[in-house]
Amino acid sequence: MSGTSLDGIDGVLSSSNKTLHAAFIAFPDALRAELLALQSPSENEIHREALAANQLTTLYAACVQQLLKDAGISADQVSAIGAHGQTIRHRPELGYTRQIINPALLAEVTDIDVISDFRHRDIAAGGQGAPLVPAFHQSVFGSATQTRVVANIGGISNISILRPDGQVTGYDTGPGNLLMDGWIHAQRGQQYDDSGQWAASGLVLPDLLVELMSEPYLALPAPKSTGRDLFNTAWLTQHLQHFGSAAPADVQATLTAFTARTLANAIQRDAPGAEAVYVCGGGAMNTYLMRLLQEKLACPVSDTGVLGVSPQHVEALAFAWLAERFCERLPGNLQSVTGARGPRLLGALYPA
């Protein structure tokens, strides 16, 4: 899995939804910059996209090799690789989404079956193609007695609302880490705000928060999904134009509050009876963000670690689960989440 934060590749070797081994490969700066550049229209995109996909695939393969080495197993002991690829555009309203990767190359290099392109079939069936993780969240974190919310805070945030009767809904709530990451990178050259310490040193700017909350996407009903297509540097620059004299740490505090507020509002609107919120994704490491989220919600907020799954492994496990669904010829999407016309088999196979 490599998500919208553009931090790198999270890999897991899993069996029956359990992590046996995990590996993380950070993107080299040049690849991260190119993947960011490919998020918006630019010169000679087809050629550059293909080269970036090949380079990314080499790192996916290195991640797989690392997992095999750590586990002391060989390629023929692995059923399949679920390879999400890197989203560079997500435009379900126009009938497409784009996760770049070269699955043929990954199959060639690893000699393992590769399942890729998980989102298109759902979009072809009229769905958003995202989020795809709620079905997995239900299978691992669902409860027969409690309404639970799983909040994945990656680059973008998404929630899964898991009801005791098995009903599942969910959608992308808006930004996760990407605005905070972008701001600290622009101001201080850091990849992310460790534990939210810089944000915690600032003060939330109420007027800026109101301005950010005016984004129309936030009020849209589900199904909905979003990405860097909307929440990007241009979006932030536009909203900051009247706040040129604000202290950078105060902007960081406000961006963190914005992520917390949008998540909390979505949970209050669509899961008012939630009895527990479990956070996964890198945002779970942002102590300040977690504190703000807890302050805004009446029910306890913790990370998925308390349910036995490290927050950093959840999304990668979900794509292993989706690959397993494909191998068993079972649907991976949920109509109640993506709005597709029906359950669909997700993915395409590139055999070893």
**Whole-Å CA distances, 321 to 13, 152, 259, 340:** 11, 16, 28, 20
- CA 318 → CA 10, 12, 274, 297, distances in Å? 11, 10, 22, 26
How far is residue 46's CA from residue 43's CA, in Å, rounded to a whole number? 9
Q: Which does 177 bind (CB under 5 to 8 A by kind): ligand ATP, Mg ion, none?
A: ligand ATP
Binding partner selected for residue 259 from ligand ATP, Mg ion, none, CB under the kind-specific 5 to 8 Å limit = none
Which of ligand ATP, Mg ion, none interacts with 111 (beta carbon under 5 to 8 A by kind)? Answer: none
Q: With binding defined as CB under 5 A, does residue 3 bind Mg ion?
A: yes
Q: Does 7 bind Mg ion (CB under 5 A)?
A: yes
Residue 194 interacts with, from Mg ion, ligand ATP, none (CB under 5-8 Å by kind): ligand ATP
Task: Find the shortest distance in angstroms from Cβ 136 to ligand ATP.
Answer: 12
CB of 3 to Mg ion, least distance (A): 4
The angle at the Cα of 303, spanning 226 to 183, to the nearest 5 degrees, equals: 45
282 binding ligand ATP? (CB under 6 A): yes
Question: Could you say whether residue 142 binds ligand ATP (CB under 6 A)?
Answer: no
Buried b vs exposed e over 204-222: b needs ≥16 C-beta within 10 Å? bbeebeebbeebeebeeeb
Q: With binding defined as CB under 6 A, does residue 128 bind ligand ATP?
A: no
Q: How far is the CB of 77 from ligand ATP (least distance, A)?
A: 26
Choose between 3 and 202: whose C-beta lies nearer to Mg ion: 3
| Amino acid of residue 203 | L
Residue 254 or 304 with smaller CB distance to Mg ion: 304
H helix count then E strand count, the chain: 13, 12
Q: Find how far residue 70's CA is from the centre of its chain.
A: 26
- State the Cα–Cα distance between residues 327 and 229, nearest whole angstrom: 32
Judged by CB under 6 A, the residue of 173, 286, 333, 338 near ligand ATP is: 286
Binding of residue 285 to ligand ATP (CB under 6 A): yes
Encoding tokens for residue 219?
């009020």
> Binding of ligand ATP at residue 259 (CB under 6 A)?
no
CA-CA distance, 5 to 27, in Å (whole number)?
A: 11
Cβ distance to ligand ATP smaller for residue 181 or 211 = 181
- Compute φ and ψ for 125, nearest 5 degrees: -90, 20
Residue 161 Cβ, how far from Mg ion at the closest point, in Å?
23
Angle between helices 134-141 and 314-327 (to 10 degrees): 100
Closest CA to 97 of 118, 72, 74: 118
Among 138, 177, 225, 304, interactor with ligand ATP by CB under 6 A: 177
The phi, psi pair for 156, rounded to 5°, reads -105, 155
Say whether residue 40 binds ligand ATP (CB under 6 A): no
- Binder among 60, 118, 192, 258 for ligand ATP (CB under 6 A): 192
- Looking at the Cβ atoms of 105 and 199, the one nearer to ligand ATP is 199
CA torsion 341-92-24-58 (nearest 10°) is 110
Residue 122, interface with Mg ion (CB under 5 A)? no
Region 311-330 residues binding ligand ATP, contact defined as CB under 6 A: 315
Instruction: Select from ligand ATP, Mg ion, none the partner in contact with residue 285, using the beta carbon and a kind-dependent cut-off of 5 to 8 Å.
Output: ligand ATP
Query: Interface residues with ligand ATP (CB under 6 A)?
Result: 1, 3-5, 7, 10, 152, 154-155, 177, 181, 192-196, 281-283, 285-286, 315
Query: Interface residues with Mg ion (CB under 5 A)?
Result: 3, 5, 7
